[in-house]
């Protein structure tokens, strides 16, 4: 049976973009939002939702799929709050940036039925701005959408398969992996870049002051490296708390790499670091060429 109603709890950048993307790609069912009243009003004005409720219990009523698009700690709380009362045929899924603690909570709530009741997901898409005002129906085009299955779960069965069909329609590329593996990978490819950008921007402010026109003077490279330093702490706090071990390990290895560069600014080792680093961009260029062909 086709999905007739989807509830999106959290109608900010990701939740709002999901609503807009579904509508753009002709999802004909109802899209129900759940957030603060002021956010719901803006989401309705943008066309991201059909209707809205401030109470999650009201918002999920009648939905075949409920998407949790809040910060990670709230996702974990909502799984415990909503999970036990959701109808057995309703799929609960999320878009949180860490997965091990999210899936662990779902397993405690749903037990052996987790594989039928919950789909742990994470779209690798976003902006440094937050809020439904910045929602974009094309945000997920070409983006990886990670899913971390529960033991024995076939994510393409039933409602989860139908929902992932919509993920692909809005441009997402499904990639499945273990939850722990996901968190280790994202510590490097998502969480570490954010911490680097934040540290660089904070160091520049401390060194030159808040009014120095550094971005204008530094050019494109500096703007690109510090762009995501504008991301909201409210989201990254939860990511840091729920993936602390992996982020710490990645930061330590990067610190060691930076120390190695610092100690070899006048040796051949610096050239070798550049040569090693070039492999990443060479691989990326080759991949892009294959995709074009």
**Is pLDDT of 68 > 70?**
yes
**Which CA distances in Å does 69 have to 10, 65, 102, 284?**
5, 13, 12, 30
Contacts of 139 (CB under 8 A, 6+ apart): 13, 14, 17, 21, 125, 126, 127
**Is pLDDT of 263 > 90?**
yes
Q: Which residue has the tokens 């973009």?
A: 17
**What's the confidence (pLDDT) of residue 284?**
53
Residue pLDDT, tens place only, 88-131: 999 999 999 999 999 999 999 999 999 999 999 999 998 778 88
- Written as one string, the DSSP assignment of 63-91 is -SEEEE-S-HHHHHHHHHHHGGGS-TT-E
Span of 62-66, 136-140, 141-145, 220-224 with lowest mean pLDDT? 220-224
- Do 64 and 5 form a contact (C-beta atoms < 8 A)? yes
Cα–Cα distance for residue pair 49/29, rounded to 1 Å = 11
- Do 66 and 83 form a contact (C-beta atoms < 8 A)? no
Integer distance in angstroms from the first to the last C-alpha of the chain? Answer: 37
Residue pLDDT, tens place only, 186-238: 999 999 999 999 999 999 999 999 888 888 888 889 999 999 999 989 889 99
* Mean pLDDT, residues 85-89 taken together: 94
* Mean pLDDT, residues 166-190 taken together: 97
Cα–Cα distance for residue pair 264/259, rounded to 1 Å = 9
**What's the confidence (pLDDT) of residue 289?**
46
**Is pLDDT of 292 > 50?**
no
**What's the confidence (pLDDT) of residue 235?**
86
The closest alpha carbon to 177, from 141, 194, 153, belongs to: 153
Q: 133 exposed, middle or buried (CB, 10 Å; 0-12, 13-18, 19+)?
A: middle
**What's the confidence (pLDDT) of residue 283?**
64
**Kind and range of the H or E run holding 234:** helix 233-242
**What's the confidence (pLDDT) of residue 216?**
80
> How big is the chain by its Cα radius of gyration, in Å?
21
Mean of per-residue pLDDT scores for the chain: 93
**Which CA distances in Å does 289 have to 139, 189, 285, 286?**
22, 21, 6, 5
Cα–Cα distance for residue pair 31/165, rounded to 1 Å = 17
The closest alpha carbon to 77, from 242, 204, 233, 217, belongs to: 242
Cα–Cα distance for residue pair 8/33, rounded to 1 Å = 5
Domains of the chain: 5-177 (3.40.50.720), 182-262 (1.10.3660.10)
**What's the confidence (pLDDT) of residue 128?**
79
* Mean pLDDT, residues 271-290 taken together: 75
Residue pLDDT, tens place only, 15-62: 999 999 999 999 999 999 999 999 999 999 999 999 999 999 999 999
- Do 188 and 250 form a contact (C-beta atoms < 8 A)? yes
């Amino acid at each position: 049976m086709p999905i007739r109603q989807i509830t999106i709890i959290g109608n900010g950048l990701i939740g709002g973009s999901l609503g807009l993307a579904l509508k753009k790609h002709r999802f004909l069912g109802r899209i129900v939002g759940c957030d603060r009243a002021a956010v719901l009003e803006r989401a309705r004005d943008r066309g991201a939702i059909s209707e809205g409720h401030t109470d999650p219990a009201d918002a999920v009523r009648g939905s075949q799929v409920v998407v949790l698009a809040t910060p990670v700690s709230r996702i974990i709380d909502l799984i415990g709050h909503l999970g036990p009362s959701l109808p057995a045929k309703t799929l609960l899924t999320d878009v949180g940036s860490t997965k091990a603690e999210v899936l662990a909570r779902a397993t405690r709530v749903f037990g052996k039925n987790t594989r039928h009741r919950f789909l742990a997901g994470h779209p690798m898409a976003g902006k440094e701005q937050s809020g439904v005002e910045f929602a974009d129906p094309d945000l997920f085009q070409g983006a990886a959408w990670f899913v971390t299955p529960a033991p024995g779960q076939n994510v393409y069965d039933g409602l989860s398969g139908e929902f992932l069909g919509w993920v692909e329609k809005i441009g997402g590329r499904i990639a499945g992996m273990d939850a722990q593996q996901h968190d280790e990978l994202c510590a490097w490819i998502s969480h570490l870049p954010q911490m680097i950008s934040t540290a660089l921007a904070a160091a520049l402010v401390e060194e030159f002051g808040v009014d120095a026109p550094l971005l204008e003077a530094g050019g494109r490279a500096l703007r690109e490296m510090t762009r995501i330093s504008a991301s909201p702490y409210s989201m990254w706090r939860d990511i840091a708390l729920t993936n602390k071990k992996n982020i710490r390990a990645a930061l330590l290895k990067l610190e060691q790499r930076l120390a190695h560069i610092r100690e070899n600014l006048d040796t051949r080792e610096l050239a070798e670091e550049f040569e090693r680093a070039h492999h990443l961009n060479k691989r990326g260029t080759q991949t892009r060429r294959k995709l074009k062909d």
